[in-house]
């Protein structure tokens, strides 16, 4: 699929997330709804990775550009943060540790799930895959 079609799919899912967010009777971020929709579509194999692979690779390779607006926003409010730099530093440190722990836990859980799946295949008479 060409890159323009892949961009259309990704933007279409984002638009659907925006519409669902507008309809909901409570506040919920449209970006999260869009990611959940994408996960659902990929999980049910309604959408295949080939349909959005090149676009996803492009976005991952250029991810640093998406942090520029946040950095500029921080620079615009440097006077506000000047007296509270240590609080920001503590928050960054604690959340970094939490992200490390959550990532390690997720990787461990996925590896355990994959090992259990391989063991079940091997014991059911089917040939286990490496």
* Full 3-state SS string of the chain: CCHHHHHHHHHHHHHHHHHHHHHCCCCCCHHHHHHHHHHHHHHCCCCCHHHHHHHHHHHHHCHHHHHHHHHHHHHHCHHHHHCCHHHHHHHHHHHHHHHHHHHHHHHHHHHHHHHHHHHHHHHCCCCCCC
Same domain, 40 and 78: no
Number of domains in the chain: 2
Same domain, 119 and 103: yes
Determine the pLDDT at residue 15.
Answer: 96
Same domain, 56 and 2: yes
Same domain, 77 and 124: yes
Determine the pLDDT at residue 127.
Answer: 52
Q: Which domain holds residue 9?
A: 1-61
Tens digit of pLDDT per residue, the chain (130 long)?
688 888 899 999 999 999 999 999 999 999 999 999 999 999 999 999 888 888 888 888 888 888 888 888 888 888 888 888 889 889 999 999 999 999 999 999 999 999 999 998 876 655 545 5
Same domain, 97 and 78: yes
Determine the pLDDT at residue 60.
Answer: 86
Same domain, 107 and 130: yes
Same domain, 47 and 11: yes
């Amino acid at each position: 699929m060409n890159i323009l079609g892949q961009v259309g799919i990704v933007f279409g899912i984002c638009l659907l997330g925006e519409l669902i967010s507008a309809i909901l009777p409570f506040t919920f971020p449209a970006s999260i709804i869009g990611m959940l929709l994408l996960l659902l579509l990929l999980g049910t194999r309604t959408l295949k990775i080939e349909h959005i692979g090149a676009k996803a690779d492009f976005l991952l390779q250029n991810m640093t550009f998406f942090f520029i607006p946040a950095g500029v926003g921080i620079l615009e409010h440097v006077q506000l943060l000047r007296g509270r730099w240590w609080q920001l530093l503590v928050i960054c440190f604690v959340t970094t540790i939490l992200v490390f722990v959550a990532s390690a836990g997720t990787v461990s859980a996925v590896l355990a799930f994959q090992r259990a799946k391989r063991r079940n295949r091997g014991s059911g008479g089917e040939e286990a895959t490496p």
